[in-house]
A and B are shown apart, each in its own frame.
Chain A
Amino acid sequence: MLVLRNWLRRARPLLLGAALVTGIVACGEELESGAACPILCAGQNLAVFDTTFEAVIFDSTVYGIPGFGTEGSLYLAHRGDTLDVRGVVRFDTIPSTYLSGLVDSAITRVDNAYLALRVNATGTRVRGSVRIDLFDVDTTEADTVKAVVQSLFRPDRLMGGSTFDSAQVKDSLRVTLNNARLLAKVTAKQRLRLGIRITAASGAEIDLGSIEGGATPILRFDPLPEDTANVPLSVFPSSSTPPNDVVVSGDFLDYTIMVAAPPAPAGTVLSVGGLPNKRAYLRFSIPSRILDSSTVLRASLQFTQQPNRSIDRNDSLTIVPEISVANEDVTDITRATLLLAGFAFDSLRVAPGDSGVRVLEVATAVRQWAAATVDSIRQQRVLVLRSTREGTSPFELHLSSREAPAALRPRLRVSYALRTSFGIP
């Protein structure tokens, strides 16, 4: 008994220490398990509801985006009578002198004049050869009016041109200018506004760089050809009209005009892409039981594509949905269509000539709308469908609008789980 008592006395600190250590170790809670799932976890399956309904309460095709003069590139096209897109570049200030040594000298001669253009390969399609002609489209009339500018592409205003084989249409192009005509502009201190037109027997599309795209057209000429050491003059676009409006005149440094384009779709059809570019504006109404009281797992916008066989029916077009960040106070749908969140959460590649039901996943949008319901600023519940090649592709998607027959209307399919059905044993 005495031995036991002595042992216990010695063991007491050990027992206390062991209890303390065990307690400290046990403080680090580790609850993760899962080996017995799903047998013992079957109840974790949530009630997920799946519903499809006509959620679009307003839709429209929106034109004018990108705005006139704000194109990311100068997309030129010639497809017979179906499509004719031309460009204009303004050189409203051309130097009339050049620096020779340390002395300014008047330009009296012009040689080797050309317009340097950058080519975007993505939107360029040339078969055989293509002719690029440059016209003097300067006028005292409103030269941003299509009819006016179109009338100036005529032989007596021809400033130059070059013919290129398809293999040459890559990276950059030099389109020759008539030296004498350019010299006349220089010496008269007139502005030079160049209209660019392409023609090709089998049709062609050339996507040229623009100011907005960071690949500006450049006018180059040599005022002193006998001096081989002299560097040719490079003239960058400049624009003086409309006066006193720097922003708009800046937009008009270069722009495209649509001389001929496929007719706009009629009837209960929305349009995306094409020339001129179009976006589809779709405003949604979603029940509060989904937006306010649920977690949206999946939301699919289902729409019916209508065949568009006007041009390149078998080629492909990628469209993306984006959220408009406009609030309810923005009543101009063009502005609401411009105010996009800036990221596309899904994409769909389609051939314009096909038809049938198409699906875009838009759960990101519905979740954002649900989150926005608690904000003081009421965000429009609008999806904008746009082409990834806006203004640089003739491909155009047609889809049935909400005014089409019931079977063809856009629908929203939502899989959602109610928040309140969660967690109760």
Chain B
Amino acid sequence: MRARLVQVVLLAVGCVGFAAPVRGQGTLSTQGFGYPLGGLSTRAAATGGALSEFDHLSSRNPAALTLWGRTGLYVQYDPEFRSVESGAATDRTTTSRFGAIAAGFTVGERWSIGVSSHAFLDRSWATNFRSGQRLGDDSVSYAERFSSKGGINDNRVAVAYRLHPKVVLGAGLHLLSGENRLNLVREFDDSVRYGTLTRDISLTYSGTAASAGIVVSPFRRLALAGSYRQGGSMKLRVVDTLRTEANVPSRYGVAVRLEPLSGVSLLVGADRTEWSRMNGLGSASAAAQDTWEYSAGAQFAGQRLRNTPWTYSVGYRQRDLPFAAAGVPVTEKLFAGGLGIPIAGPRGMLELALQRAVREAATATSERAWLLSVGFIVRP
């Protein structure tokens, strides 16, 4: 037997049909590592996010944890009904998300402790489409289904300390974790010559961050809040192999709450997220840009039920999304409204929010979405 191995690479022309690695697919909002949820609770979403710096159920400001008062548990469900128009074609999708789960309690009169997990980036999408590819000398058509499920969560342990009746400080440690479960099936029309490409892969993420916040109430009807999160390292693994490393986005935000009338709160806020710190975690085509978010909203206390008022909220939020679509920045405008229903007095509260999102980029594609948020808080 002639066992001599001669493998002369006569032609090693790579990258036929080569293009950028995978980005978010088929929508404006889920490009890159996914759609940023913003760490908002249902009630904060109902105010356009303007309440988030004062909200103990949102993940932004650890100083807000003092609002837990008594021990409580909170869960939140955030389905999104999305419509993507591209030319004459329209896609309608439904995305299910569990936006948050949180628990908190107070220790003594000054300390509050909270643990929470909020959706940070949601990378859930699926595409079906036909295309073609050059393989060797031939051009071949194929049908492809590509899907991604999962995302990154922001898990936080935080404490708040009432330094003064008008000043609350907070600090938190964040562990970001999650995974994307991707599946690709590409079936070539000529199935004799070309094998079906079937891929399953899981990308796992891990990262750390630390946050600090403050809530100040200099006057009875005025409150100011600010928070800062310093991102630590963030790692991406394929199966168990570390592939890339970058940083968790840092962020900071401020907000003002004014109560001109009893039971009426007016809120404005601004938030800056340094998404570019994630660059390097993915490819250059998934480079993120730093973004500003501006929000304004109002909350109204309504009729009381079992000595607990209903709350009504409206708000508006405008922001840029971190990941560009086809190289073009994407902006998002959200119109929000919601209500809080004390279904069991102070022991049980149902929060509802409905947001209308308008996402646009300088492409032929536009996106609209209804974002429903249902939160339920129990204080046994």
- A interface residues, Cβ below 8 angstroms from B: 4-5, 8, 12, 15-16, 19, 22-23, 25-55, 57-58, 285, 287, 295-298, 300, 345-346, 361, 363-364, 367, 402, 406, 411, 413, 415, 417, 419-425
Residue pair B125, A33 in contact (C-beta under 8 Å):
yes
Give the residues from 99 to 128 in chain B that come closer than 8 angstroms, CB to CB, to chain A: 123-128
Hey, what's the 0/1 contact readout for B80-107 against A, CB within 8 Å counting as 1? 0100111101111111100000000000
Q: How far is the CA of A42 from the CA of B19 in the complex (A)?
A: 7
Residue pair B365, A36 in contact (C-beta under 8 Å):
yes
A28 contact set on B, CB distance < 8 A: 94, 96
A232 → chain B closest CB, angstroms? 51
Residue pair A422, B184 in contact (C-beta under 8 Å):
yes
A–B complex contacts, Cβ < 8 Å, 25 sampled: A8-B310, A22-B79, A31-B93, A31-B125, A31-B147, A33-B25, A34-B127, A37-B25, A37-B131, A39-B363, A39-B365, A40-B26, A44-B127, A47-B15, A47-B18, A49-B14, A49-B16, A50-B14, A53-B8, A297-B135, A298-B194, A345-B192, A420-B238, A422-B199, A424-B236
Residue pair A52, B135 in contact (C-beta under 8 Å):
no
Q: How far is the CA of A358 from the CA of B195 in the complex (A)?
A: 20
**Which listed segment binds A: B154-162, B169-177, B209-217, B281-289?**
B281-289
A30 → chain B closest CB, angstroms? 4
B92 → chain A closest CB, angstroms? 8
Q: How far is the CA of A58 from the CA of B18 in the complex (A)?
A: 34
Residue pair A35, B26 in contact (C-beta under 8 Å):
yes
Residue pair B21, A425 in contact (C-beta under 8 Å):
yes
Residue pair B352, A40 in contact (C-beta under 8 Å):
no
Given contacts A32-B93, A39-B363, A40-B28, contact A53 B7 (CB under 8 A): yes
A215 → chain B closest CB, angstroms? 33
Most buried by A among B129, B203, B244, B363: B129
Q: Does B32 contact A (CB under 8 A)?
A: yes
Residue pair B182, A422 in contact (C-beta under 8 Å):
yes
A364 contact set on B, CB distance < 8 A: 195
Q: Does B261 contact A (CB under 8 A)?
A: no
Chain A: CB-nearest residue to B372 = A22
Give the residues from 142 to 189 in chain B that come closer than 8 angstroms, CB to CB, to chain A: 144, 146-149, 180, 182, 184, 188
A46 contact set on B, CB distance < 8 A: 17, 197
Give the residues from 1 to 53 in chain B that come closer than 8 angstroms, CB to CB, to chain A: 1-28, 31-33
Q: How far is the CA of A19 from the CA of B198 in the complex (A)?
A: 39
Residue pair B195, A43 in contact (C-beta under 8 Å):
no
Q: How far is the CA of A297 from the CA of B136 in the complex (A)?
A: 11
Chain A: CB-nearest residue to B124 = A31
A296 contact set on B, CB distance < 8 A: 195
Residue pair A29, B26 in contact (C-beta under 8 Å):
no
Given contacts A33-B126, A50-B11, A420-B238, contact A42 B194 (CB under 8 A): no
Chain A: CB-nearest residue to B6 = A54
Given contacts A30-B94, A31-B124, contact A53 B10 (CB under 8 A): yes
Residue pair A419, B136 in contact (C-beta under 8 Å):
no
B34 → chain A closest CB, angstroms? 8
Chain A: CB-nearest residue to B325 = A40
- B interface residues, Cβ below 8 angstroms from A: 1-28, 31-33, 77, 79, 81, 84-87, 89-96, 123-129, 131, 133, 135-136, 144, 146-149, 180, 182, 184, 188, 192-195, 197-199, 201, 203, 236, 238, 243-244, 282-283, 285-286, 302-303, 310, 323, 325-326, 339, 341, 343, 350, 352, 363-365, 372, 374
Residue pair A424, B129 in contact (C-beta under 8 Å):
no
Which of A27, A367, A406, A415 lies in contact with B135, CB distance below 8 A?
A415
Which of A27, A298, A424 lies in contact with B136, CB distance below 8 A?
A298
Q: How far is the CA of A243 from the CA of B364 in the complex (A)?
A: 85
Residue pair B31, A423 in contact (C-beta under 8 Å):
no
A40 contact set on B, CB distance < 8 A: 23-28, 31, 86, 325-326, 363, 365
Chain A: CB-nearest residue to B82 = A33
Chain A: CB-nearest residue to B34 = A425
Residue pair A51, B184 in contact (C-beta under 8 Å):
no
Chain A: CB-nearest residue to B238 = A420
Q: How far is the CA of A50 from the CA of B303 in the complex (A)?
A: 71
A37 contact set on B, CB distance < 8 A: 25-26, 127, 129, 131
Q: How far is the CA of A194 from the CA of B292 in the complex (A)?
A: 98
Chain A: CB-nearest residue to B131 = A38
Chain B: CB-nearest residue to A30 = B94
B33 → chain A closest CB, angstroms? 5
Which of B14, B89, B282 lies in contact with A424, CB distance below 8 A?
B282
B84 contact set on A, CB distance < 8 A: 33, 35-36
Chain B: CB-nearest residue to A295 = B197
Q: How far is the CA of A43 from the CA of B24 in the complex (A)?
A: 8
A371 → chain B closest CB, angstroms? 11
A318 → chain B closest CB, angstroms? 15
Chain A: CB-nearest residue to B287 = A425
Residue pair B303, A5 in contact (C-beta under 8 Å):
yes
Residue pair B9, A41 in contact (C-beta under 8 Å):
no
Residue pair A50, B136 in contact (C-beta under 8 Å):
yes
Residue pair B15, A49 in contact (C-beta under 8 Å):
yes
Which of B18, B24, B128 lies in contact with A48, CB distance below 8 A?
B18
B192 → chain A closest CB, angstroms? 6
Chain A: CB-nearest residue to B22 = A43
A104 → chain B closest CB, angstroms? 62
Residue pair B195, A422 in contact (C-beta under 8 Å):
no
A78 → chain B closest CB, angstroms? 39
B244 contact set on A, CB distance < 8 A: 424
Chain A to chain B: the 5 pairs with minimum beta-carbon distance, closest first? A26-B79, A35-B89, A33-B91, A45-B19, A425-B286
Residue pair B201, A419 in contact (C-beta under 8 Å):
yes
Residue pair A35, B195 in contact (C-beta under 8 Å):
no
Q: How far is the CA of A39 from the CA of B28 in the complex (A)?
A: 10
B17 contact set on A, CB distance < 8 A: 45-48
B171 → chain A closest CB, angstroms? 31
Q: How far is the CA of A271 from the CA of B213 in the complex (A)?
A: 81
Chain B: CB-nearest residue to A362 = B193
Residue pair B374, A41 in contact (C-beta under 8 Å):
no
B182 contact set on A, CB distance < 8 A: 422-423
Q: How far is the CA of A40 from the CA of B361 in the complex (A)?
A: 11
A164 → chain B closest CB, angstroms? 42
A16 contact set on B, CB distance < 8 A: 341, 343, 350
B31 → chain A closest CB, angstroms? 7
Residue pair A57, B2 in contact (C-beta under 8 Å):
yes
Most buried by B among A36, A285, A411, A424: A36
Q: How far is the CA of A411 from the CA of B374 in the complex (A)?
A: 62
A327 → chain B closest CB, angstroms? 16
B15 contact set on A, CB distance < 8 A: 47-49
Q: How far is the CA of A415 from the CA of B139 in the complex (A)?
A: 12
A382 → chain B closest CB, angstroms? 12
B180 → chain A closest CB, angstroms? 7
